[in-house]
């Protein structure tokens, strides 16, 4: 603005006043965006809606006030305009636009009247020209900043749990339950009342596809629970698309709140905050890596990436990116590792490498898991990988665990099927 010397922006104290206005707008708008982004699950949707919402709040509010100024013919209309102006000031985009408009009007009016020997210029810092705009931006920014901190530190977990939780269960009434499923549910329910070695237990899975786990004391048909602990046998969860497998990962990583039921970690009911505090490592289905970082020495030997130790992650091939993402999940010493299709896009040699690391981590021989081994929940469509690692299978259908049986039997009992999940414990 100083380079092009626009009088409206650089006359007298206009430039520092505008800079301060923009700075406070950035503070208030950032706080607002951090709060509103929590309402969305898709980043692209959040980006588009928040951008359009900001534009609408700024331009829409100014347009409404302009129309009221044009049709203002009564005191009632003026009162309505005054009230709307104060309400719109709570929106940072409108406050910025209105402040710039006030500075522009003040400068243009002073330039016109100066020809008649009148000095009507109001200094933005020593008058009430934009003082209220500054105060509104500071007030809104600080309030939203504190609100965002409270949400991040889970001060409203009790209220959010009441909003998300529902009283209904997801079980399908009137359906028979297999003996293996009932036995597994009784095992998990009894383990919930006493100490066990399982770092993870889901107490009675309800309608997983709807995103909740049912912990009703009443025996529910089609709503079993399951547990996973270090050193136990592998379990494969079989299910078609939409059976609730991805929702299970979202529940275990805290991305979704269970509407009913509980998740137990280390024999204690896990709160939403504990699911991301070192108990669980996660390798998502998409490559969650920074393309500018390089591969560190600790992971390259384990996953046979030594030749790429000095290569940026963004320059790796698709299969090597998956290996790196899987390696990151094993870097910590968390008792439970979640792997969402870690072998997708890998060649047979790379899949064998991942399988070897998973088996070693579960046996306590590698991966930083210690002598007791680690629990691994693995999602895969490779039946050969599942047969290599798993010894039992659980059939998941429409959010309900239908059967638990040795892994070689699903093909014999149910015919050909595709493996979707396996649990290494």
Residue 207 has pLDDT above 70, yes or no: no
Q: How far apart are CA 189 and CA 172, in angstroms?
A: 20
Is-contact 368 330, C-beta < 8 A?
yes
Instruction: Give me the residue spans of the domains in the chain.
Output: 7-153, 162-424
Average pLDDT value for residue range 325-343? 79
Is there a contact between 254 and 275 (Cβ–Cβ < 8 Å)?
yes
Mind listing the pLDDT tens digit for each residue in 1-27? 556 667 777 778 888 999 999 999 999
Provide the β-strand partners of residue 394: 237, 404
Residue at token pair 């008649």? 116
Q: Helices 92-113 and 43-71: crossing angle, nearest 10°?
A: 40
176-181 CB contacts, 8 Å cutoff, 24+ apart: 176/221, 177/221, 177/222, 177/224, 178/402, 178/403, 178/404, 180/403, 180/404, 180/405, 181/224, 181/401, 181/402, 181/403, 181/404
Question: pLDDT tens for residues 386-403?
Answer: 777 776 666 777 767 677
- In 3D space, the residue among 425, 236, 253, 274 whose CA is nearest the CA of residue 335 turns out to be 425
More confident residue, 74 or 194: 74
Check if CATH label 3.30.2320.80 holds for domain 162-424. no
List pLDDT tens digits, range 220-269: 333 435 555 555 545 666 667 777 777 777 777 777 777 667 777 666 66
The secondary structure element, H or E, covering residue 424 is: strand 419-424
Distance CA(113)–CA(107), nearest Å, equals 10
Q: Which residue has the tokens 């108990």?
A: 279
| pTM assigned to the model | 0.58
Averaging pLDDT over each range in 257-266, 330-339, 363-372, 408-417, which range is the top one? 330-339
| Dihedral class, residue 174 (left if φ above 0, else alpha if ψ from -120 to 50, else beta) | left
Residue 295 has pLDDT above 50, yes or no: yes
Segment 81-121, tens digit of pLDDT: 899 999 999 999 999 999 999 998 888 888 888 888 888 88
Whether residue 424 is predicted with pLDDT greater than 60 in this model: the reply is: no
Q: Tell me what the pLDDT averaged over the chain comes to.
A: 73
Residue 119, classed as helix, strand or coil, is coil
Q: Which of 57-71, 74-88, 277-291, 328-342 has the lowest mean pLDDT?
A: 277-291
Confidence check: pLDDT of 208 > 60: no
């Amino acid at each position: 603005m100083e380079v092009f010397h626009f009088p409206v922006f650089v006359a007298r104290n206009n430039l520092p006043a505008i800079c301060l206005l923009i700075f406070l707008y950035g503070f208030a708008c950032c706080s607002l965006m951090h709060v509103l982004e929590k309402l969305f699950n898709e980043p692209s949707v959040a980006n588009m809606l928040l951008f359009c919402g900001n534009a609408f709040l700024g331009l829409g509010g100014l347009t409404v006030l302009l129309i009221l100024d044009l049709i203002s013919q009564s005191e009632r209309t003026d009162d309505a305009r005054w009230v709307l102006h104060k309400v719109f000031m709570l929106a940072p985009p409108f406050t910025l636009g209105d402040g710039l408009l006030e500075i522009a009007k003040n400068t243009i009016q002073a330039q016109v009247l100066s020809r008649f020997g009148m000095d009507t210029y109001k200094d933005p810092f020593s008058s009430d020209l934009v003082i209220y705009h500054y105060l509104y931006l500071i007030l809104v920014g600080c309030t939203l900043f504190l609100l965002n901190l409270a949400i991040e530190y889970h001060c409203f977990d009790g209220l959010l749990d009441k909003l998300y939780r529902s009283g209904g269960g997801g079980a399908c009434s009137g359906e028979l339950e297999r003996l293996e499923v009932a036995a597994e549910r009784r095992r998990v329910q009894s383990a919930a009342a006493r100490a066990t070695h399982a770092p993870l237990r889901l107490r009675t899975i309800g309608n997983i596809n709807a995103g909740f786990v049912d912990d009703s004391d009443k025996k529910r048909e089609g709503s079993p629970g399951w547990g996973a602990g270090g050193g136990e046998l592998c379990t494969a969860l079989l299910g078609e698309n939409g059976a609730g497998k991805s929702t299970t990962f979202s529940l275990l990583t805290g991305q979704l709140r269970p509407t009913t039921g509980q998740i137990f970690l280390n024999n204690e009911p896990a709160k939403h905050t504990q699911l991301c505090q070192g108990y669980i490592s996660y390798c998502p289905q998409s490559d969650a890596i920074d393309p500018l970082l390089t591969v560190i020495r600790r992971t390259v030997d384990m996953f046979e990436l030594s030749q790429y130790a000095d290569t940026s992650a963004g320059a790796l091939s698709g299969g090597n990116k998956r290996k790196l993402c899987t390696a990151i999940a094993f870097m910590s010493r968390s008792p439970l590792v979640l792997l969402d299709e870690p072998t997708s896009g890998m060649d047979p040699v790379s899949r064998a490498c991942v399988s070897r690391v998973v088996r070693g981590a579960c046996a306590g021989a590698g991966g930083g898991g210690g002598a007791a081994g680690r629990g691994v929940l693995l999602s895969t469509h490779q039946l050969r990988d599942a047969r290599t690692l798993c010894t039992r299978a659980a059939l998941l259908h429409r959010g309900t665990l239908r059967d638990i049986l040795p892994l070689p039997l699903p093909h014999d009992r149910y015919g050909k099927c595709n493996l979707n999940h396996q649990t290494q414990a």
